Amino acid sequence: MTITPVTPTIAHGPPPDSRARTVATDERPVSNTVSIHLATSRDLKYVDALARKFSNQIGFIPTLALEKHIDRRNVLLAKENGHHAGYILTGAPLTGARNVIPIFQAAIQLDAQRRGAGLFLVETVIAGAQDDGLDLVQLWCREDLEANAFWHAAGFRPIARRTANTARGFPAVLWRKPARRITAHILHSLPAPSRNHGPGGRFVSSDANGPQFSTAHLSRADRLQLLARLPAA
């Protein structure tokens, strides 16, 4: 993975409104068959059922929390030919990283996979971040999941690994995609070491539990080794 430093652009104006961040309208057609729109309370049952079906891959979020995310306009739905196909759950800019939008969950139902709905959801999130002058969209993905191949194909870059926080847990890969032109330093910036001890394990760039460091400082061989650990597309 080669990172080329670029000159960042500067966004002017008031801070973005996270509640209206993702799309400008309630519905956005993106192809002849797929449309993306904001989830409403009427979609809660569908989102909750799909989230529970894929909870082993995307983690568990209680129904009440999903309802609050829908109220905050953080959930986008994909529809194919007018029927639900999947959703993506984002959040407000991260504390301490106000220009980074997190993706918490993304799920496409089995009969709608590999037809573009997931990519359209991601592109809509990226477009919303661009419109608001934000720097990055990021997510953590369990290292053993085939979904890593999707994030790679969607243009995200593997930035670091996070070790498992329990003996039965799995390491996770941090994926990021710039929403605008940024420097390599911003792309590779990781949480401060003093904040590495919360739930979810430590933020590191290798299997060793030593001090964290940016993958920008890894050798070419180490970067290739990190990529080699991901499932093939």
Domain covering 20-133: architecture: 3-Layer(aba) Sandwich (3.40)
Beta strands in the chain (DSSP E): 27-29, 34-38, 75-80, 83-90, 100-108, 136-142, 157-162, 172-178, 203-204
Sheet hosting strand 136-142, strand order edge to edge = 27-29, 34-38, 75-80, 83-90, 100-108, 136-142, 172-178, 157-162, 203-204
- pLDDT band (50, 70, 90) for residue 162: confident
Tell whether the model's pLDDT for residue 82 goes beyond 50: yes
Q: Are 1 and 223 in contact (CB under 8 A)?
A: yes
CA distance 40 to 71: 7
Could you state, in order of their start, the residue ranges of all structural domains in the chain?
20-133, 135-191+199-233
Beta-bridge partners for 103: 90
For the segment 48-56, the average pLDDT, to the nearest whole number, is: 95
Torsion angles phi and psi, residue 74, rounded to 5: -100, -5
Inter-CA distances, 1 with 23, 94, 196, 216, 218, Å? 31, 25, 25, 9, 10
In whole angstroms, how large is the CA radius of gyration of the chain? 18
- pLDDT band (50, 70, 90) for residue 33: confident
For the segment 67-87, the average pLDDT, to the nearest whole number, is: 95
Residue holding tokens 């720097």?
A: 135
Nearest residue to 178 (alpha-carbon basis) of 107, 127, 115: 127
For the segment 205-229, the average pLDDT, to the nearest whole number, is: 44
Computed over every residue of the chain, the mean pLDDT equals 75
Tell whether the model's pLDDT for residue 213 goes beyond 90: no
Q: Are 80 and 117 in contact (CB under 8 A)?
A: yes
- pLDDT band (50, 70, 90) for residue 190: confident
Strand bridging mode 75-80 / 172-178: unpaired
Torsion angles phi and psi, residue 11, rounded to 5: -90, 130
Q: Are 66 and 44 in contact (CB under 8 A)?
A: yes
Strand bridging mode 100-108 / 136-142: parallel
In single-letter form, the type of residue at position 145 comes to: L
Beta strands in 56-209 (DSSP E): 75-80, 83-90, 100-108, 136-142, 157-162, 172-178, 203-204
